[in-house]
Structure 1
Amino acid sequence: MADRPQGSGMPEKGTPEYDWLYGSQSQTPPSDATQRVPAQAGDRDARPDETRVMPVARREARGGGSGSGGRPPTGRTPAAAPRPRRRWRPRLRLGFVPLLLLLLLVYLVGVPLYHWTAIDKVDAAPSGDRPSDQPGTNYLIVGSDKADDLSDEQRAALRTGERGGTNTDTIIVLHTGSAGRTMMSIPRDTLTEVPGQGTAMINSAFSTGGPPLLVASVEQLTGIHIDHYVELGFGSVINTVDAFGGVEICPKQDMRDPMARLDIEKGCQEVDGLTALAYSRSRHVTALSDLDRVARQREVISALGDEALSPWTFVNPVRYWQINAAASGAIRVDEEMNPLDLGRFALAMTGDSQTCTMPNLPAPSDPNRLVADPDRAPALFDAIIEDSTVPKRACTPTGRAR
């Protein structure tokens, strides 16, 4: 054996205390030291004298440590790693919004359809010759004084009795078409030819022949073909206004009319249903009596239309339900009208429109009655018939010449 350099630090092979490193048949290495491992079967590249490193045995397998099973000295079980928080995903919100909009749409459509079944339908089509169909749509709005749709408290406040009368204080032709909307009032004291009765006040047609005779009388007077009939009772005004929470009216003077149960000051103000009805019925305060009254009737109807289109009507489900319930319980429509037609009518009452009273003059035979002005009335009638622009001189609030 060659001499080992001094100070090389290398152990000398053959030295007994280093047999575990260079190998020896008579020396068994310590149990937890690096040792030589016999080659396994199938290990083709293994060499007999190759040294290998045994994996370090677990403490509990070697019997080391205390009886704690190898836990940390503290004796506590390590805490589990925190689970990552699930992030909120916007797609969940995007899926909820369409569902909410769908439910709102179903509610907005379903409520009117449900209340449609409660609306009374009447035969309003007159017999005999009628004007042919015309451009646009013409609605005849009738306000009756029947009290069968009033509560006991409302009857007591209005002193109407059990059922009231069968007259009509409100006769309005509402036209919609390409030329816009026109609302024309026909004063109830207008003398005209009533089929089967000769010359009479136009409102007598309603009390004697009901809706068909009134429609026939209006068509004969104006030449306008009436497409649909809508009748409003006392209760329809009171209950609908109250369902809206009130409407705004703007009287131009103080109005105190005991016969109409009205006592209000001039100026714009919010009023309830009873006051709105009294305001539209009063005829004993202003100089032109019925001619001023028809203008106030149109004012109340237009105010209802404006409230109907308020966003709050559609956002508030309770308000929306109450309005539909109030309207359906107090109106009557012709048998040919369907829910879509009624919706068009509701929209037609809203927004800007020309408001007129039929051009009129005092009747030669009775100054307390009216007749259509032969010079100006045909221009207004023809504009509605032809769905054209209404001449300004023919459209005035009272029907009198400017």
Structure 2
Amino acid sequence: MNQRTHGRYADFQEPYEPSGAARPPNEYGPYESGPYESGPPPRRRGTIKRILISVLVVLLVVAVGTYFWADSKLRKEVDLGKVIDRPAEGEGTNYLIVGSDSRKGMSAAQRKSLHTGGSAEAGQRTDSMMILHIGSGGPTLISLPRDSNVTIPQFRGSETGRLRPAMGANKLNAAYAFDGPQLLVRTVEYNTGLHIDHYAEIGFTGFANIVEAMGGVEMNLDKGFTDKWSGADFKAGKQTLNGAQALAFVRTRHAFATSDLQRTKNQQKFLSALANQAASPGTVLNPFALYPVMSAGLDTLVVDKDMNPYLLARMFLAMKDVNSGDGRSMNMPVSGSVGGNLQWDRPKVKQLVNELKSDEPVTVTSGG
């Protein structure tokens, strides 16, 4: 090739490579000029990403809004800070869950249909009392029979703020009747030595309304029973209880030989079923089911001033787990009776409280 030709076509010729030398491949392979892109084009991927972010933001806003809505509806009326001479806190968290016989806001027709008797202004007592311990070893639910023979100690009046003298031996449910939730907490702590962290109470109407809002609660009864006092009339087998039937189920005691102890077992069984159904995907993931249930419960639930929706949800989830194999339910250990009232087995109670305080597995049996 002469110089003229070389100069004329030099810009179109490939660089000279020695014979036999391999052409170095680029980073995409020997025959590729660039990366091969799969999937949707960049613009479409950006649209999908924006949609996902928008959905997450909406869900976050709804969740935060629901939290503050629920928190605003809680009746934070119980000030545990005013309870005197409290035992030291232990491991885990202890809730005192109370079902009162309050008829406040009930019409005469409602009192008749629910078989509650009394009047809307009748004095309140506690129909059911339970300690729920949540710790590393799983939840433990302990029923406190309302006819338990306990000491009502010195306390500070919830309205007057003045110290009141001890009342001595009494039924446990009398403490609430004398001076409400704060004296009940004081009495439970004094007789057990266990620190109560949170308090939750619901009356007759609120209890029935929650069950109705859920469309009833399914139960499987081993035996049928009737009780003219509570209005109970149940057959054995699987059935769905409405609000009035549920209230009758947890209140019945005259139908049983061990009236108060069997009633507490029924209360535990029902509350576990209620919590299990309330926490099911069919309720939690369905806003048309979730919000009516939440509203029905929050409107009538009385709690301590430090309670919030997270702690309340934790309480319900623990109740759900009680009978699922992850927890345990029991009655407060009893050893007999005094004047018709149940006497706690003090050595067992002491052992039980020590195990709860240390967040150890509960080995104590109920007895009685």
Shorter chain as denominator, the TM-score bin is: 0.7 to 0.9
Alpha-carbon shift at residue 251 of structure 1 (Å) = 2.3
Alpha-carbon shift at residue 385 of structure 1 (Å) = 1.7
1:171–1:186 contact (8 Å) kept in structure 2: yes
1:149–1:329 contact (8 Å) kept in structure 2: no
Tell me the matched-pair count.
309
Alpha-carbon shift at residue 208 of structure 1 (Å) = 0.2
**Deviation by residue 1:209-251 (Cα, 9 ceiling, x = unmatched):** 1111111110111110000111111122111111111112222
Which one of 126, 132, 136 corresponds to residue 92 of structure 2? Answer: 136
**Letter paired with 1:123:** V
SS at 1:350 equivalent: helix
Q: Percent identity?
A: 36
Where do 1:192-211 residues align within 5 Å?
Answer: 192-195=150-153, 196-211=166-181
Aligned equivalent of 1:361 = 335
1:321 aligns with 2:291: yes
SS at 1:325 equivalent: helix
SS at 1:199 equivalent: strand
Partners of 2:123 and 2:228 in 1: CA distance: 19
Where do 1:209-358 residues align within 5 Å?
Answer: 209-352=179-322, 353-358=327-332
Partners of 1:155 and 1:101 in 2: CA distance: 46
Aligned equivalent of 2:103 = 147
1:191 aligns with 2:149: yes
Aligned equivalent of 1:173 = 131
Alpha-carbon shift at residue 371 of structure 1 (Å) = 0.9
2:227–2:255 contact (8 Å) kept in structure 1: yes
**Letter paired with 2:59:** L
More helix, by proportion: 2
1:370 aligns with 2:326: no
Partners of 2:105 and 2:60 in 1: CA distance: 30
Partners of 1:348 and 1:213 in 2: CA distance: 26
Aligned equivalent of 1:65 = none
2:87–2:193 contact (8 Å) kept in structure 1: yes
Partners of 2:273 and 2:57 in 1: CA distance: 30
Aligned CA distance change for structure 1 residues 239 and 135 (closer, same or farther; 3 Å) = same
Aligned equivalent of 1:117 = 72
Aligned CA distance change for structure 1 residues 235 and 369 (closer, same or farther; 3 Å) = same
1:111–1:321 contact (8 Å) kept in structure 2: no
Greater relative contact order, per chain length (Cα 8 Å cut-off, separation 6+): 2
SS at 1:260 equivalent: coil
State the structure with more CA Rg.
Answer: 1
Aligned equivalent of 1:103 = 58
SS at 1:155 equivalent: helix
Partners of 1:344 and 1:221 in 2: CA distance: 26
**How does the TM-score come out when normalised to structure 1?**
0.72
2:135–2:359 contact (8 Å) kept in structure 1: yes
**Letter paired with 2:102:** K
Alpha-carbon shift at residue 116 of structure 1 (Å) = 2.3
Alpha-carbon shift at residue 121 of structure 1 (Å) = 1.6
Where do 1:27-66 residues align within 5 Å?
Answer: none
1:112–1:324 contact (8 Å) kept in structure 2: no
2:256–2:262 contact (8 Å) kept in structure 1: yes
